[in-house]
Amino acid sequence: MEGGPIYMGVDVSATTVRAALVSATGEVYEITQEAISDDPEVVLRGVRSSLERLRERARERRWVIRSAGVGVPGLVNARAQRVEAAPNLSSLVKVDVSREVADVVGCPVLIENDANLAAYGEFVCGAAQGRANVIYIAVGTGIGAGLICDGKLYRGSLGFAGEFGHTTVDPEGLPCACGNRGCLETIASGPNIVRRARERLFRDRSSSLSRLAVPGSGELTPERIATEALNGDDFSLMILEQTGKWIGIAVANVINLLDLDMVVLGGGVMVAGDLLLGPIIAEVKRRAFTAMAAHCEIVASLLGGRAGVIGGAMLARDTLP
């Protein structure tokens, strides 16, 4: 494509900045990624570096970047285009990501919660096409969610709707970065899946039979637990089953509340596929009203790690001049 309009999607997570040039129909033409940490200077440097590479690529191809959508993990005041709170990347409260993007690429920019953008991406181009009432849930460093209600992105009164990971599932549970105790995120997020696995390996001698317990076998990560589960490791399967149960409890509550058409699960942990989906679906069937559970389809993300950048680009396409 030469000289046509193109859109930019930017997805800022607790550990990376991913940015992409996306066509008007949702096709990713160019994508780049930078590692970041929870430091204002590092965040801005990562954002700027990613965007500068894409800007130059667009100039080489004579692509016109019409607008950009930026997703961040936290509470976003959409009217003020400001991050109000970001428990897993507190530096975002101190930086103006929207202005940084606009300064580099020179086009209109919107900033939005990252899960909202991923939800919009799945709704427009992914697994939720044709569905009117959808929740997208991302299980990663944190647990976020975006809602599509009656075919529109639902933000709530203040723009903060969708904080699924901060649903209380264990009132006596661990403290959460948000200030609450016993949030779903303290049990089922990526770092807490690893924490639970380490604790179980330490106290349960039978767990030493797991390949995860072999000295020098590599770093323990959610992805590695999922991989070992896929390879048939009983301990890893048990950790995923417990994780799915907790997520399923929270999903059942949302289905009972909103009577959804679809739940889309994304994030790095979903490399486990049906091994995580299965326990979630089973728990939903146990806890949600039968008619609503039967109607609501629970599926893995179709767009995977690109849901956020595609959603950002498509929301910018649909809402900015």
Is residue 241's pLDDT more than 70?
yes
Please report the pLDDT score of residue 52 as a whole number.
94
Q: What is the mean pLDDT of residues 34-56?
A: 92
Q: Tell me the average pLDDT across 245-270.
A: 96
Across all residues in the chain, what is the average pLDDT?
A: 92
- Return d(Cα 118, Cα 147) in angstroms, integer: 10
Cβ(46)–Cβ(63) below 8 Å:
no
Please report the domains of the chain, with CATH numbers, ordered by start residue. 5-115 (3.30.420.40), 127-301 (3.30.420.40)
User: Are the C-beta atoms of 119 and 164 separated by less than 8 Å?
Assistant: no
pLDDT at 30 over 80: yes
Under DSSP, is residue 76 helix (H, G, I), strand (E, B) or coil?
Answer: strand
pLDDT in tens, 296-320: 999 999 999 999 999 999 999 999 9
- Could you tell me how many helices (H) and strands (E) the chain has, helices first? 10, 12
For residue 211, what pLDDT band results from cuts at 50, 70 and 90? confident
Rounded CA-CA distance 173/181 in Å is 6
pLDDT given at position 205:
65
Q: How confident is the model at residue 2 (pLDDT cuts 50, 70, 90)?
A: low
Over residues 226-248, the mean pLDDT reads 94
| Model pLDDT, residue 4 | 67
Confidence at residue 121, expressed as pLDDT on a 0 to 100 scale: 98
Task: Yes or no: say if 68 and 12 are a contact pair by the CB < 8 Å rule.
Answer: no
The token pair at 214 is: 């072999």
Banded model confidence at residue 14, pLDDT cuts 50, 70, 90: confident
Q: Residue with structure tokens 């990713």?
A: 28
- The DSSP output letter for 64 is E
pLDDT of residue 201: 87
**pLDDT tens-place string over residues 94-127:** 888 888 889 999 999 999 999 999 999 999 999 9
**pLDDT: which is higher, 28 or 94:** 28
Residue 29 has pLDDT above 70, yes or no: yes
The count of other CB atoms within 10 Å of the CB of residue 98 is 21
Q: pLDDT tens for residues 147-163? A: 999 999 999 988 899 99
The answer to whether the CB of 264 falls within 8 A of the CB of 301 is yes
User: Mean of the pLDDT values across residues 159-181?
Assistant: 93
Q: Which of 286, 169, 271, 293 is nearest to 225 (CA)?
A: 271
Q: Does pLDDT of 81 surpass 90?
A: no
CB 310 within 8 A of CB 7: no
User: Given pLDDT bands bounded at 50, 70 and 90, which one contains residue 128?
Assistant: very high
296 near 262, Cβ under 8 Å?
yes
141-155, 217-231, 256-270, 294-308: the lowest-pLDDT one: 217-231
- Exposure string of 196-209, with b = 16+ CB inside 10 Å and e = fewer, is bbeebbeeeeebee
**In this structure, what token pair is assigned to residue 213?**
């317990």
Q: How far apart are CA 251 and CA 137, in angstroms?
A: 9
pTM value?
Answer: 0.93
Query: Model confidence over 37-47: pLDDT tens digits?
Result: 989 889 889 99
pLDDT at 216: 65
User: Per-residue confidence at 213, pLDDT binned at 50, 70, 90?
Assistant: confident
Q: CB of 108 within 8 A of CB of 312?
A: no
